[in-house]
Each structure stands twice: as C-alpha cells, then as structure tokens.
Amino acid sequence: QVQLQESGPGLVKPLETLSLTCTVSGDSISSHYWSWIRQPAGKGLEWIGRMYSSGGTNYNPSLKSRVSMSLDTSKNQFSLKLTSVTAADTAVYFCTKGAGDLWGQGTLVTVSS
Amino acid sequence: QSVLTQPPSASGTPGQRVIISCSGSSSNIGSNPVNWYQQLPGTAPRLLIYTNNQRPSGVPDRFSGSKSGTSASLAISGLQSEDETDYYCAAWDGSLSGVVFGGGTTLTVL
C-alpha cells in the first residue's frame, strides 16, 4: 500500500524559507512524478509544482522565482523549498503522486513572527 | 480567480442525478485531459475521475466524467448523503505550463 507523509516545521517566520519533505512508502520515488499542492484555510487548491524522477521540474509561474524541489532517492523522499514566505503562504501543503493519484494527509504551515 | 470555472455550489436530493460543470479554455481543458477530485471535510482530496472519464479502482460507478470542447462535467447519480462535500476539477494548462484547478464546488444533499 502506497503512502505519502509530509513533514516539516509548522511555523515559519516571514521572509524565511519554508522546507517540507514528503516520505513515500510502498513505491519507488524513482518511478512516476511527484507534486506539491497547497490549500489556504477555507479556500481552493493551488498547484505548486512537480518533479520527475529524471530531475525535471515544472513550477507554478506565480511561485517560480521562490520554489525549488528535489528528490532523495536514497531516502525515497522528495522535498519542497519556498523562499521569502509571507502570510499569504500560510496553507495546508499536500504532496501527491503524479497529478494527484494519491495524496499525503497534508501539513499545515503557518507563516507568522 | 481560478483559471477553471466551477459553480460554487450545487445541490440535489437523495437518489437524484447531479452534474457539476468545469469550464476552461483551449489551452487547458480544450487540449488536455481533466481530473476530478473529491475532498471530504478535514481530509486530503482523493482522485475521483482521471483522464476525463476514467475511474480509479474503488470509486463507485455512480461517479462519471465527460468532456466536450473546453468544458468538462462530473455527474453523480443515485445521490447519497455521503456525497455531500467539495469537488474540484483540474487540468494541465499549456500556456501557463502548469496545472490549473477550478475553484471548487460544494455539493449539498438536501
């Protein structure tokens, strides 16, 4: 059974870097592609970007200057970094397999001093 | 303002058939497959329909998807109380080079 689990700080200060990791179990991260999606409280879903096992990436144009993603095949994990965060980046962050075939439970990240 | 347009709400009575629409453009729905997601309160979304009309294993056949031109639809037949939740459509947008979502539709079972 494939499972995804997000982890990382739940509180990030403004202008600092948000860093999250998604640990995949039951499947190899070297297969498929993997995505990050976020959802502010009470609002809709926003695609952040995706990373292929080859290392190729696609990012949301509105976030592209601040986003980076990476894979760690030795740990079967993939990661998200979002720099210079503001309160507008406060949201539940989900990692997904593919375009959303399977989702992690999500992790709330609050940006506040 | 979402790139894909969904009605914010929809409703129906138990046993009824309800259709949720998703309107886009030639750069997204018009040229790429559409996925639908169901999100129960306080939980992560789950894939409901992929590639316009395909159901993942475990999704009841009461749920069906279709696409025509730059619009897509999610149909739910034999409406049940457990279907009362939020639904989102999504598609790749070639102009934006990214995935775009609809704003979501909250379905109420009366």
With a CB cutoff of 8 Å and minimum separation 6, the contacts of B1 are none
State the smallest CA–CA distance between residue A96 and chain B in angstroms: 10
Least Cα distance to B5 among B110, B93, B101 occurs for B101
Residue B50 and residue A99: Cβ atoms within 8 Å?
A: yes
Identify the burial level of A76 via C-beta atoms within 10 angstroms of its C-beta, where 0-12 means exposed, 13-18 middle and 19 or more buried: middle
- Taking only Cα atoms into account, the Rg of chain B, rounded to an integer number of angstroms, comes to 13
Residue A49 and residue B98: Cβ atoms within 8 Å?
A: yes
Q: Helices H, strands E: what count in chain A?
A: 0, 11
For the segment B27-41, what is each residue's pLDDT rounded down to a tens digit?
A: 999 999 999 999 999
pLDDT of residue A99: 86
**What proportion of chain B, given as a percentage, has pLDDT over 70?**
100
> Residues of chain A whose pLDDT is less than 70?
none
pLDDT of residue A31: 85
A–B interface: beta-carbon pairs under 8 A: 51
For the segment B84-94, what is each residue's pLDDT rounded down to a tens digit?
A: 999 999 999 99
Among chain A residues, the shortest Cα distance to B103 is held by: A44
pLDDT of residue B50: 97
Torsion from C-alpha of B86, A96, B27, B1, nearest 10 degrees: 40
CB B106 within 8 A of CB B18: no
Residue B102 and residue A44: Cβ atoms within 8 Å?
A: yes
pLDDT of residue A76: 96
Mean pLDDT of chain B: 97
- A40 interfacial to chain B (CB closer than 8 Å): no
Is B62 a residue whose pLDDT tops 90?
yes
Q: Which residue in the set B44, B88, B103 is minimally distant from A105, CB to CB?
A: B44
pLDDT of residue A32: 87
